[in-house]
Every structure is written in structure tokens, then in C-alpha cells.
């Protein structure tokens, strides 16, 4: 199930979505051209075993790792999802709060991954946690929006709630597999807990925003 586009344009220029995509593409270009990629990844990716909560400098990868990617497919899929769902969330949260929300979603996702696997030596990198936050907020704000979705060789017009719920179920299932006794934490792979943490924060922020908006509207009628 691959979302192609959502049928709910805001009509507003998505400044931060385009800017963040451009930053990610530029950093990926640096990855492709840097003389020592291993040193670059070691410095900016999140390596849980290298984190010292008493040393602020070791905490920077919670942010910097969000702009690294592990290959062309990784960055293309991340930016594709971000492009489809990000503009609506940026419009809803506003130009000031959206970039803060984006970074906090990524930090939250990385924090959950770190909390569950603090001794891992495998670098974690990617914008997935931040983008998962955007998906969670979209799920809260626009569950009834329609999303053109590729299912095998067919294109279906589905509610955003179904598309995003399916995505979330996949993350939960894969995270359960990742912590099963048969799995090896040193094998690497996808940091599914980062996705779950980011999505949870995004959904929470979206719901709180809706509650506050509803109370504000009610107050106007008192």
C-alpha cells in the first residue's frame, strides 16, 4: 500500500516542507561526496552506546541523525511521505510551530529507540521519526481526507485514517518482531521504535491542538 497523493490541498505554499526536503537532499549529497563516510556517519548519526546523558555534546545526534539517510531508497521514500502529508500539517500548525514540531517528533522517536536499545553500537539515522510525527498529526487532524493509494497494480481512493492506520500496524508488528527472542539486535535494519515514538507524539500534539481549538470556539459562544 503506497500513498500517491492526498485529495485535500491547502492552497498554501508549503515553505517548511520544501525547505526541510532541500536540507535532507543537501545532506545526502554530502554523504555521497564526503571523503570519509564512516567518520561522517559516526559523528552525526545516533549511536546509542555513545550517548552520555551527562555530556550535552553527545546528545546532538538526536537532532543531526534526522537529516542523514542510508541510501537512495531511504531518502526517496521518506521525502515522498513527507511531501504528501506534510503540507496539510504545516498549514494546520503554522509556520512558526511546524519546524519545532518536526524536530521534536524526530527527537522523541530517537529517544524511544535509545531507551529501548541503549547499548546498541549500530548507527541510527533518517528522518523517519520526524516524518512519523507528521503522519501522526495528519491522522489526528485529517482522518477523513482521501488519499490516492497504490495497492499492487490498482489505485484506490481511501480515507487517510485507513492508510495511516495500516502504516502504524506495520510499524507495531515489525517492532514486535525486532524484539522477539529470535532477532539479533546487532543485525541492524529499520528503527521501528523511532517511527512509533514520532507517530505517538504527532498524534498527541494533533489531538491536544484540536481540544484547545474546540475550547476556544466554545468560549466565543459563552
Give 106-136 pLDDT, tens digit per residue. Answer: 999 999 999 988 998 989 999 999 999 999 9
Query: Which pLDDT score is estimated for 8?
Result: 74
Say what the alpha-carbon torsion angle 74, 99, 210, 13 is, to the nearest 10 degrees: -90
What is the rounded (10 degree) CA torsion for 215, 217, 220, 222? -50
Q: Convert the pLDDT of each residue in 87-104 to its tens digit.
A: 999 999 999 999 999 999
What CATH number labels 2-180+187-220?
A: 1.20.1540.10
How far are the Cα atoms of 4, 143, 157 from residue 154, in angstroms, in the given order? Answer: 12, 22, 10
Give the start-to-end residue ranges of the domains of the chain: 2-180+187-220
Q: Is the per-residue pLDDT at 33 higher than 70?
A: yes
Predicted TM-score (pTM) of this structure: 0.90
Reduce the secondary structure of the chain to three states and give it as a string. Answer: CEEEEEECCCCCCCHHHHHHHHHHHHHHHHHHHCCCHHHHHHHHCECHHHCCCCCHHHHCHHHHHHHCCCCHHHHHHHHHHHHHHHHHHHHHHCCCHHHHHHHHHHHHHHHHHHHHCCCCCCCECCCHHHHHHHHHHHHHHCCCCEEEEEECCEEEEEEHHHHHHHHHHHHHHHHHHHCCCCCCHHHCCCCHHHHHHHHHHHHHHHHHHHHHHHHHHHHHCC
Contact 75, 28 (CB under 8 A): yes
Question: Percent of the chain having pLDDT more than 90?
Answer: 73
- pLDDT confidence tier of residue 174, bands split at 50, 70 and 90: confident
Amino acid at each position: 500500500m503506497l500513498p500517491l497523493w492526498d485529495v485535500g490541498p491547502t492552497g498554501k505554499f508549503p515553505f517548511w516542507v520544501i525547505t526541510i526536503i532541500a536540507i535532507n537532499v543537501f545532506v545526502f549529497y554530502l554523504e555521497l561526496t564526503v571523503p570519509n563516510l564512516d567518520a561522517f556517519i559516526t559523528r552525526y548519526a545516533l549511536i546509542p552506546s555513545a550517548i552520555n546523558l551527562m555530556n550535552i555534546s553527545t546528545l546532538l545526534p538526536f537532532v543531526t541523525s534526522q537529516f542523514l539517510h542510508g541510501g537512495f531508497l531511504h531518502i526517496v521514500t521518506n521525502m515522498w511521505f513527507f511531501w504528501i502529508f506534510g503540507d496539510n500539517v504545516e498549514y494546520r500548525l503554522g509556520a512558526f510551530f511546524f519546524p519545532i514540531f518536526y524536530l521534536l517528533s524526530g527527537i522523541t522517536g530517537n529517544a524511544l529507540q535509545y531507551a529501548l536499545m541503549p547499548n546498541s553500537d549500530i548507527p541510527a539515522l533518517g528522518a523517519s521519526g520526524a516524518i512519523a510525527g507528521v503522519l501522526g498529526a495528519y491522522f489526528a487532524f485529517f482522518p477523513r481526507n482521501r488519499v490516492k493509494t497504490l495497492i499492487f497494480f490498482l489505485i484506490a481512493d481511501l480515507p487517510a485514517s485507513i492508510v495511516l492506520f495500516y502504516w502504524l500496524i506495520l510499524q507495531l508488528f515489525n517492532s514486535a518482531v525486532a524484539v522477539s527472542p529470535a532477532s539479533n539486535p546487532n543485525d541492524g535494519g529499520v528503527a521501528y521504535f523511532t517511527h512509533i515514538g514520532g507517530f505517538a507524539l504527532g498524534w498527541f500534539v494533533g489531538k491536544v491542538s484540536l481540544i484547545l481549538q474546540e475550547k476556544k470556539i466554545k468560549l466565543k459562544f459563552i
